[in-house]
Structure 1
Protein backbone atom coordinates (compact mmCIF):
# COMPACT_ATOMS: atom_id res chain seq x y z
CA UNK A 1 0.00 0.00 0.00
CA UNK A 2 1.59 3.27 -1.03
CA UNK A 3 1.47 6.35 1.18
CA UNK A 4 -1.13 8.26 -0.85
CA UNK A 5 -3.44 5.26 -0.72
CA UNK A 6 -2.89 4.97 3.03
CA UNK A 7 -3.55 8.66 3.60
CA UNK A 8 -6.72 8.48 1.52
CA UNK A 9 -8.03 5.62 3.68
CA UNK A 10 -7.14 7.43 6.90
CA UNK A 11 -9.09 10.45 5.68
CA UNK A 12 -12.02 8.21 4.71
CA UNK A 13 -11.97 6.63 8.17
CA UNK A 14 -12.05 10.01 9.91
CA UNK A 15 -14.76 11.37 7.61
CA UNK A 16 -17.06 8.34 7.87
CA UNK A 17 -16.73 8.02 11.65
CA UNK A 18 -17.23 11.79 12.08
CA UNK A 19 -20.32 11.71 9.84
CA UNK A 20 -21.67 8.79 11.85
CA UNK A 21 -21.17 10.53 15.18
CA UNK A 22 -22.15 14.05 14.20
CA UNK A 23 -24.86 13.57 11.57
CA UNK A 24 -26.23 10.06 11.33
CA UNK A 25 -26.82 9.69 15.05
CA UNK A 26 -29.72 12.11 14.79
CA UNK A 27 -31.09 10.80 11.46
CA UNK A 28 -33.61 8.06 12.14
CA UNK A 29 -36.08 6.89 9.50
CA UNK A 30 -39.63 6.51 10.91
CA UNK A 31 -38.18 6.05 14.40
CA UNK A 32 -36.94 2.61 13.36
CA UNK A 33 -34.35 2.84 10.56
CA UNK A 34 -30.79 3.79 11.39
CA UNK A 35 -27.94 4.42 8.98
CA UNK A 36 -24.53 3.22 10.07
CA UNK A 37 -22.44 5.11 7.56
CA UNK A 38 -19.14 4.30 9.25
CA UNK A 39 -19.17 0.80 7.76
CA UNK A 40 -18.65 2.41 4.34
CA UNK A 41 -15.01 2.68 5.39
CA UNK A 42 -14.81 -1.12 5.59
CA UNK A 43 -16.93 -1.77 2.53
CA UNK A 44 -14.93 0.55 0.26
CA UNK A 45 -11.44 -0.73 1.16
CA UNK A 46 -9.38 -2.32 -1.65
CA UNK A 47 -10.37 -5.84 -2.60
CA UNK A 48 -6.93 -7.36 -1.99
CA UNK A 49 -6.70 -6.07 1.61
CA UNK A 50 -4.78 -8.23 4.10
CA UNK A 51 -7.33 -10.14 6.24
CA UNK A 52 -5.63 -9.48 9.56
CA UNK A 53 -5.39 -5.76 8.80
CA UNK A 54 -9.04 -5.81 7.72
CA UNK A 55 -10.12 -7.36 11.04
CA UNK A 56 -8.03 -4.80 12.95
CA UNK A 57 -9.55 -1.92 10.97
CA UNK A 58 -13.02 -3.35 11.60
CA UNK A 59 -12.36 -3.37 15.32
CA UNK A 60 -10.96 0.18 15.30
CA UNK A 61 -13.92 1.54 13.30
CA UNK A 62 -16.50 -0.15 15.51
CA UNK A 63 -14.66 0.76 18.71
CA UNK A 64 -14.51 4.43 17.68
CA UNK A 65 -18.29 4.46 17.27
CA UNK A 66 -18.77 2.52 20.52
CA UNK A 67 -16.83 5.17 22.42
CA UNK A 68 -19.16 7.94 21.29
CA UNK A 69 -22.40 5.92 21.38
CA UNK A 70 -21.57 4.26 24.74
CA UNK A 71 -22.64 0.86 23.37
CA UNK A 72 -20.10 -1.36 25.15
CA UNK A 73 -18.59 -3.10 22.12
CA UNK A 74 -21.68 -3.79 20.05
CA UNK A 75 -20.41 -1.88 17.02
CA UNK A 76 -16.90 -3.28 17.42
CA UNK A 77 -18.24 -6.85 17.39
CA UNK A 78 -20.51 -6.20 14.41
CA UNK A 79 -17.73 -4.46 12.47
CA UNK A 80 -15.31 -7.31 13.11
CA UNK A 81 -18.00 -9.70 11.85
CA UNK A 82 -18.38 -7.58 8.71
CA UNK A 83 -14.59 -7.54 8.21
CA UNK A 84 -14.46 -11.32 8.72
CA UNK A 85 -17.23 -12.02 6.21
CA UNK A 86 -16.02 -9.55 3.57
CA UNK A 87 -13.40 -11.84 1.92
CA UNK A 88 -15.92 -14.69 1.73
CA UNK A 89 -18.53 -12.47 0.07
CA UNK A 90 -15.90 -11.14 -2.35
CA UNK A 91 -14.97 -14.74 -3.24
CA UNK A 92 -18.64 -15.59 -3.83
CA UNK A 93 -19.06 -12.58 -6.11
CA UNK A 94 -15.80 -12.96 -8.04
CA UNK A 95 -16.31 -12.13 -11.73
CA UNK A 96 -15.50 -14.74 -14.35
CA UNK A 97 -12.17 -13.06 -15.13
CA UNK A 98 -11.35 -12.49 -11.45
CA UNK A 99 -10.43 -9.23 -9.80
CA UNK A 100 -7.55 -7.04 -10.96
CA UNK A 101 -4.94 -6.32 -8.33
CA UNK A 102 -5.84 -2.62 -8.50
CA UNK A 103 -9.60 -3.13 -8.20
CA UNK A 104 -11.45 -1.40 -5.44
CA UNK A 105 -15.07 -1.59 -4.47
CA UNK A 106 -16.57 0.85 -6.93
CA UNK A 107 -20.05 0.82 -8.38
CA UNK A 108 -18.74 2.21 -11.68
CA UNK A 109 -16.15 -0.56 -12.11
CA UNK A 110 -18.04 -3.55 -10.73
CA UNK A 111 -21.57 -2.62 -11.76
CA UNK A 112 -24.85 -2.08 -9.94
CA UNK A 113 -25.82 -5.71 -9.44
CA UNK A 114 -22.41 -6.70 -8.07
CA UNK A 115 -22.26 -3.69 -5.74
CA UNK A 116 -25.79 -4.15 -4.40
CA UNK A 117 -25.26 -7.87 -3.77
CA UNK A 118 -21.94 -7.16 -2.03
CA UNK A 119 -23.07 -4.18 0.04
CA UNK A 120 -26.53 -5.40 1.05
CA UNK A 121 -25.24 -8.82 2.14
CA UNK A 122 -22.57 -7.31 4.38
CA UNK A 123 -24.85 -4.54 5.65
CA UNK A 124 -27.48 -7.17 6.56
CA UNK A 125 -24.89 -9.20 8.50
CA UNK A 126 -23.63 -6.09 10.31
CA UNK A 127 -27.05 -4.72 11.20
CA UNK A 128 -28.34 -8.11 12.33
CA UNK A 129 -25.38 -8.40 14.68
CA UNK A 130 -25.86 -4.86 16.00
CA UNK A 131 -29.55 -5.20 16.76
CA UNK A 132 -29.39 -8.76 18.11
CA UNK A 133 -26.52 -7.81 20.41
CA UNK A 134 -28.50 -4.77 21.46
CA UNK A 135 -31.51 -6.79 22.61
CA UNK A 136 -29.30 -9.72 23.70
CA UNK A 137 -32.18 -12.18 23.62
CA UNK A 138 -34.49 -13.76 21.12
CA UNK A 139 -37.54 -12.41 22.96
CA UNK A 140 -37.27 -9.04 21.23
CA UNK A 141 -36.68 -10.58 17.81
CA UNK A 142 -40.08 -9.48 16.50
CA UNK A 143 -39.21 -5.87 17.33
CA UNK A 144 -35.68 -6.19 15.94
CA UNK A 145 -36.64 -7.54 12.49
CA UNK A 146 -38.31 -4.32 11.25
CA UNK A 147 -35.38 -2.32 12.66
CA UNK A 148 -32.92 -4.55 10.81
CA UNK A 149 -34.75 -4.45 7.49
CA UNK A 150 -35.44 -0.72 7.48
CA UNK A 151 -31.89 0.05 8.62
CA UNK A 152 -30.41 -2.17 5.88
CA UNK A 153 -32.51 -0.36 3.30
CA UNK A 154 -31.59 3.09 4.68
CA UNK A 155 -27.88 2.29 4.93
CA UNK A 156 -27.89 0.66 1.46
CA UNK A 157 -29.38 3.77 -0.13
CA UNK A 158 -26.81 5.95 1.65
CA UNK A 159 -23.97 3.67 0.41
CA UNK A 160 -25.16 3.97 -3.19
CA UNK A 161 -25.38 7.75 -2.85
CA UNK A 162 -21.85 7.84 -1.41
CA UNK A 163 -20.57 5.75 -4.30
CA UNK A 164 -22.22 7.98 -6.88
CA UNK A 165 -21.04 11.20 -5.23
CA UNK A 166 -17.50 10.40 -4.14
CA UNK A 167 -16.31 7.52 -6.29
CA UNK A 168 -16.46 9.07 -9.71
CA UNK A 169 -16.21 7.34 -13.06
CA UNK A 170 -12.93 9.18 -13.73
CA UNK A 171 -11.31 7.60 -10.66
CA UNK A 172 -12.63 4.21 -11.71
CA UNK A 173 -10.82 4.47 -15.05
CA UNK A 174 -7.44 5.27 -13.47
Structure 2
Protein backbone atom coordinates (compact mmCIF):
# COMPACT_ATOMS: atom_id res chain seq x y z
CA UNK A 1 0.00 0.00 0.00
CA UNK A 2 1.28 3.42 -0.93
CA UNK A 3 1.48 5.92 1.89
CA UNK A 4 1.22 9.48 0.64
CA UNK A 5 2.10 12.56 2.60
CA UNK A 6 -0.44 14.91 1.03
CA UNK A 7 0.99 18.01 2.69
CA UNK A 8 4.44 17.24 1.30
CA UNK A 9 3.02 16.54 -2.18
CA UNK A 10 1.05 19.80 -2.14
CA UNK A 11 4.18 21.66 -1.05
CA UNK A 12 6.13 20.09 -3.92
CA UNK A 13 3.44 21.13 -6.40
CA UNK A 14 3.53 24.70 -5.12
CA UNK A 15 7.35 24.79 -5.30
CA UNK A 16 7.46 23.46 -8.86
CA UNK A 17 4.69 25.78 -10.07
CA UNK A 18 6.14 28.82 -8.29
CA UNK A 19 9.46 28.14 -9.96
CA UNK A 20 7.88 27.46 -13.33
CA UNK A 21 5.27 30.14 -13.84
CA UNK A 22 6.75 33.50 -12.88
CA UNK A 23 10.47 32.85 -13.05
CA UNK A 24 11.83 29.93 -15.00
CA UNK A 25 9.28 30.01 -17.81
CA UNK A 26 10.87 33.26 -18.94
CA UNK A 27 14.42 31.90 -18.68
CA UNK A 28 15.25 30.70 -22.21
CA UNK A 29 18.75 29.61 -23.18
CA UNK A 30 19.99 30.67 -26.64
CA UNK A 31 16.44 30.84 -28.03
CA UNK A 32 16.41 27.04 -28.18
CA UNK A 33 16.23 25.60 -24.64
CA UNK A 34 13.00 26.15 -22.74
CA UNK A 35 12.64 24.89 -19.20
CA UNK A 36 9.49 23.07 -18.19
CA UNK A 37 10.41 22.01 -14.69
CA UNK A 38 6.91 21.44 -13.39
CA UNK A 39 7.03 17.98 -14.98
CA UNK A 40 9.34 17.03 -12.11
CA UNK A 41 6.35 17.12 -9.80
CA UNK A 42 4.57 14.51 -11.92
CA UNK A 43 7.69 12.38 -12.16
CA UNK A 44 8.17 12.38 -8.39
CA UNK A 45 4.64 11.35 -7.52
CA UNK A 46 4.86 8.19 -5.40
CA UNK A 47 5.43 4.92 -7.22
CA UNK A 48 2.33 2.76 -7.19
CA UNK A 49 -0.07 5.67 -6.85
CA UNK A 50 -3.41 4.98 -8.49
CA UNK A 51 -2.83 5.74 -12.18
CA UNK A 52 -6.12 7.64 -12.55
CA UNK A 53 -5.29 9.84 -9.58
CA UNK A 54 -1.78 10.48 -10.93
CA UNK A 55 -3.22 11.44 -14.32
CA UNK A 56 -5.75 13.76 -12.66
CA UNK A 57 -3.01 15.45 -10.66
CA UNK A 58 -0.87 15.77 -13.79
CA UNK A 59 -3.80 17.26 -15.67
CA UNK A 60 -4.35 19.86 -12.95
CA UNK A 61 -0.67 20.84 -12.86
CA UNK A 62 -0.43 20.98 -16.65
CA UNK A 63 -3.64 22.97 -16.89
CA UNK A 64 -2.33 25.56 -14.44
CA UNK A 65 0.78 25.99 -16.60
CA UNK A 66 -1.43 26.13 -19.72
CA UNK A 67 -3.52 28.92 -18.25
CA UNK A 68 -0.49 31.05 -17.41
CA UNK A 69 1.42 30.34 -20.62
CA UNK A 70 -1.54 30.62 -23.03
CA UNK A 71 -1.07 27.15 -24.48
CA UNK A 72 -4.47 25.47 -24.82
CA UNK A 73 -4.02 22.00 -23.36
CA UNK A 74 -0.51 21.23 -24.59
CA UNK A 75 1.08 20.97 -21.15
CA UNK A 76 -1.91 19.16 -19.70
CA UNK A 77 -1.89 16.48 -22.40
CA UNK A 78 1.87 15.95 -22.23
CA UNK A 79 1.71 15.72 -18.43
CA UNK A 80 -1.10 13.17 -18.58
CA UNK A 81 0.95 10.94 -20.89
CA UNK A 82 3.96 11.14 -18.59
CA UNK A 83 1.80 10.31 -15.56
CA UNK A 84 0.34 7.35 -17.43
CA UNK A 85 3.76 5.94 -18.37
CA UNK A 86 5.91 6.79 -15.35
CA UNK A 87 5.32 3.70 -13.19
CA UNK A 88 5.76 1.31 -16.11
CA UNK A 89 8.92 3.12 -17.18
CA UNK A 90 10.26 3.06 -13.62
CA UNK A 91 9.66 -0.69 -13.46
CA UNK A 92 11.49 -1.22 -16.76
CA UNK A 93 14.49 0.99 -16.06
CA UNK A 94 15.11 0.88 -12.34
CA UNK A 95 13.20 -2.34 -11.64
CA UNK A 96 11.71 -2.26 -8.19
CA UNK A 97 9.06 -4.62 -6.92
CA UNK A 98 8.44 -2.71 -3.70
CA UNK A 99 5.16 -0.86 -3.48
CA UNK A 100 6.64 1.60 -1.01
CA UNK A 101 9.25 3.22 -3.26
CA UNK A 102 9.79 6.93 -2.97
CA UNK A 103 11.00 8.49 -6.17
CA UNK A 104 13.69 10.77 -4.84
CA UNK A 105 17.44 11.20 -4.93
CA UNK A 106 18.04 8.68 -2.14
CA UNK A 107 16.13 5.95 -3.96
CA UNK A 108 17.26 6.60 -7.55
CA UNK A 109 20.83 7.82 -7.27
CA UNK A 110 22.59 9.42 -10.22
CA UNK A 111 22.32 6.72 -12.86
CA UNK A 112 18.77 5.76 -11.84
CA UNK A 113 17.74 9.40 -12.16
CA UNK A 114 19.22 9.64 -15.64
CA UNK A 115 17.52 6.42 -16.78
CA UNK A 116 14.17 7.34 -15.23
CA UNK A 117 13.90 11.11 -15.66
CA UNK A 118 15.59 11.97 -18.95
CA UNK A 119 13.50 9.79 -21.33
CA UNK A 120 10.20 10.86 -19.77
CA UNK A 121 11.19 14.52 -19.88
CA UNK A 122 12.19 14.03 -23.53
CA UNK A 123 8.77 12.51 -24.33
CA UNK A 124 7.04 15.39 -22.54
CA UNK A 125 8.99 17.98 -24.51
CA UNK A 126 8.55 16.05 -27.76
CA UNK A 127 4.77 16.29 -27.43
CA UNK A 128 4.77 19.97 -26.49
CA UNK A 129 7.12 21.16 -29.23
CA UNK A 130 5.68 18.94 -31.95
CA UNK A 131 2.18 20.24 -31.28
CA UNK A 132 3.48 23.80 -31.00
CA UNK A 133 5.34 23.40 -34.31
CA UNK A 134 2.28 21.95 -36.02
CA UNK A 135 4.03 18.76 -37.05
CA UNK A 136 7.50 17.83 -38.19
CA UNK A 137 8.29 20.95 -40.24
CA UNK A 138 11.91 22.04 -39.83
CA UNK A 139 12.71 18.69 -38.25
CA UNK A 140 16.34 19.53 -37.45
CA UNK A 141 15.44 22.67 -35.53
CA UNK A 142 12.54 20.85 -33.84
CA UNK A 143 14.81 18.02 -32.70
CA UNK A 144 17.42 20.48 -31.43
CA UNK A 145 14.77 22.43 -29.52
CA UNK A 146 13.40 19.23 -27.97
CA UNK A 147 16.83 17.86 -27.05
CA UNK A 148 18.26 21.06 -25.57
CA UNK A 149 15.06 21.80 -23.68
CA UNK A 150 14.94 18.25 -22.30
CA UNK A 151 18.56 18.49 -21.11
CA UNK A 152 17.91 21.91 -19.58
CA UNK A 153 14.76 20.72 -17.80
CA UNK A 154 16.47 17.51 -16.69
CA UNK A 155 19.31 19.48 -15.12
CA UNK A 156 16.94 21.59 -13.07
CA UNK A 157 14.63 18.68 -12.09
CA UNK A 158 17.69 16.61 -11.15
CA UNK A 159 19.00 19.46 -9.00
CA UNK A 160 15.63 19.98 -7.36
CA UNK A 161 15.33 16.27 -6.61
CA UNK A 162 18.70 16.42 -4.90
CA UNK A 163 17.71 19.48 -2.86
CA UNK A 164 14.25 18.20 -1.91
CA UNK A 165 15.30 14.66 -0.97
CA UNK A 166 15.20 13.97 2.75
CA UNK A 167 18.61 13.70 4.32
CA UNK A 168 19.59 10.13 5.11
CA UNK A 169 21.32 9.60 8.40
CA UNK A 170 24.15 7.15 8.34
CA UNK A 171 24.74 5.30 11.57
Question: Given the two structures, how large is their TM-score scaled by the length of structure 1?
Answer: 0.90
Map 1:8-157; keep pairs closer than 5 Å: 8-95=8-95, 98-157=96-155
The DSSP-based 3-state class of the residue aligned with 2:60 is: helix
Unaligned runs of 5+ in 2: none
State the aligned residue count: 169
RMSD, matched Cα:
1.8
Q: Encode CA deviations 1:23-55: one digit per residue, 9 max, x unaligned.
A: 111111111101111111101111111100011
Question: Given the two structures, how large is their TM-score scaled by the length of structure 2?
Answer: 0.91
Unaligned runs of 5+ in 1: none
Q: Distance in 1 between matches of 2:105 and 2:140?
A: 34
Contact 1:132–1:141, Cα closer than 8 Å, also in 2: no
Contact 1:17–1:38, Cα closer than 8 Å, also in 2: yes
